[in-house]
Amino acid sequence: MRTLISTAFVSLDGVVEAPGGEPGYRNSGWTFKHTEFLPEAFEIKGREQEEAAAMLLGRVSYQAFSPVWPDMADFAGYKAMPKYVVSTSLGEDDLVSNWGRTTILRSLDEVAALKETEGGPIIVHGSASLNQALSDAGLIDRYHLLVFPLLLGAGKRLFSATDKDVQKLKLVEHEAYANGLQKNVFDVIR
């Protein structure tokens, strides 16, 4: 069974929306506008590209990343990696041709089936709505969180407000940095 890893830049109050400057959100670009950049705090991002065997995205994040990431040196490790996009509306004609093999999945059942295949870890970038659905369905195995010392108030959150049973997590890696960022890696306890 493959490990499904959710990776996110998250504010202390749980907001994950538009960390890199995506339009339409009043605090767009909050990750680098308000926190001093320290390269060591982002070491996990490079490690994710080395360790992941596939990437899973929701439609909105795919449409935001696919025009930009294929040509960015910072994300070169993801170019050849198989990508999966969970969408009920995206068609094959909507996929970019310069970012490697991409498969559209139409449901969480298809994500669960993907997890049952052979291969290494699958990493989920962005994709707030997808992350919420995956978490609520019990499909996420690990969280890689870079927590920023910011309170953003409104915005898309990493976790849903669904009333559900307690889900225990085990902290397996953590570090605090001089700029206030915290790296927290949690395994989901089943």
Return d(Cα 187, Cα 190) in angstroms, integer. 9
pLDDT of residue 139: 98
Q: Which residue is it, tokens 């969280």?
A: 143
User: Which tokens hold the place of 111?
Assistant: 């994500």
pLDDT of residue 12: 97
Distant-in-sequence, close-in-space partners of 49: CB < 8 Å, separation ≥ 6: 75, 76, 77, 78
pLDDT of residue 21: 85
User: How confident is the model over 56-96, as pLDDT tens digits?
Assistant: 999 999 999 999 999 999 899 999 899 999 999 999 999 99
pLDDT of residue 109: 98
Distant-in-sequence, close-in-space partners of 47: CB < 8 Å, separation ≥ 6: none
Return d(Cα 132, Cα 138) in angstroms, integer. 10
pLDDT of residue 65: 93
pLDDT of residue 23: 83
What is the reported pTM? 0.95
SS3 127: coil
User: Which tokens hold the place of 122?
Assistant: 């699958």
What are the average pLDDT values for consecutive 10-residue runs of the chain, which has 190 residues? 97 95 89 94 95 97 94 91 97 95 98 97 96 97 98 95 94 98 97
